Chain A
């Protein structure tokens, strides 16, 4: 059952994988990292690794599942390496970004209170809003964008996101908090406060 028919043996296996699963692998990677060149590299690394590990496959799983499994490891390796380079960005504790939003008085009031957003539900129906949303997401520092994408867009819970990002729960929370604050401000400045005059 695990032996492919003779006609398939003559084809180069990795090329068949590329044809049959390349786009699916690419989508999987692209959706998680939002970087076309990097996604392409990861697909390539995955197929090369698969070539090395052919014997370990042995038809136990579906071919695509197996390849996605390898890709997942490549992706996690990449994010881990990335997170070591940028550990500074996730140090909890003194959070100057957050502190700077408030005055130093007794009630630590907002320096600039969140403005009144007009018709937010309506915004969700407008094409132009999504362009702004996408730009704001793209403008986040990469670690914050990754945390937000994993947790809020992909729906991973905090623990799963920690594993992917290779950081502790409190670090993920710090990243998420910063991402939320920045996104809020960005949407306010570039969408909700537009046309308010001034």
Chain B
């Protein structure tokens, strides 16, 4: 039977690799008796979803990101010196 610490560690690992069936089963059994770890797992899934959404939002904003006129001038000056 996993402790909270072990279960939490596996929840984190699960985001990077496929857990073995034994690990998956152990985590599921732990969740039945532990709301805190089950919440932690949901929150990690939420974080992943939020990161994806953040990327989409970021890409929409991305078009507005550009070199400032000052930055362009600084680079141009450097290029002329080169």
CB within 8 Å of B: which residues of A? 12, 14-15, 18, 22-23, 26-27, 30-31, 36, 40, 43-44, 47-48, 51, 98-99, 101-102, 106-110, 113-117, 120, 123-124, 130, 133-134, 137, 148, 152-155, 158, 173, 176-177, 180-181, 183-184, 187-188
Hey, which chain A residues are within 8 Å of B35, CB to CB?
Answer: 113
Partner of A26, one of B15, B66, B78: B66
Hey, which chain B residues are within 8 Å of A26, CB to CB?
Answer: 65-67, 71
- B44 interface residue per 8 A CB criterion: yes
CA distance A182 to B52 in the complex (A): 18
Contact B76 A18 (CB under 8 A): yes
- B55 interface residue per 8 A CB criterion: yes
Known: A108-B3, A113-B39. A180 touches B66 (CB 8 A): no
Contact A130 B67 (CB under 8 A): no
Partner of A107, one of B4, B39, B54: B4
The distance from the CB of A65 to the nearest CB of chain B, in whole angstroms, is: 18
Contact A44 B9 (CB under 8 A): no
Contact B39 A114 (CB under 8 A): yes
Q: How many residues of B contact A (CB 8 A)?
A: 43
Partner of B80, one of A12, A23, A123, A187: A12
Known: A40-B74, A110-B4. A31 touches B82 (CB 8 A): no
CA distance A134 to B67 in the complex (A): 21
Hey, which chain A residues are within 8 Å of B57, CB to CB?
Answer: 130
Chain A's interface: helix, strand, loop or mixed, by majority?
Answer: helix
CA distance A128 to B26 in the complex (A): 38
Partner of B66, one of A27, A98, A183: A27
Contact A180 B8 (CB under 8 A): no
Residues of B28-82 whose CB lies within 8 A of A: 35-37, 39-40, 42-44, 46-55, 57-58, 62, 65-67, 71-72, 74-76, 78-80, 82
Contact B3 A184 (CB under 8 A): no
CA distance A134 to B16 in the complex (A): 23
Hey, which chain A residues are within 8 Å of B19, CB to CB?
Answer: none
The distance from the CB of B74 to the nearest CB of chain A, in whole angstroms, is: 7
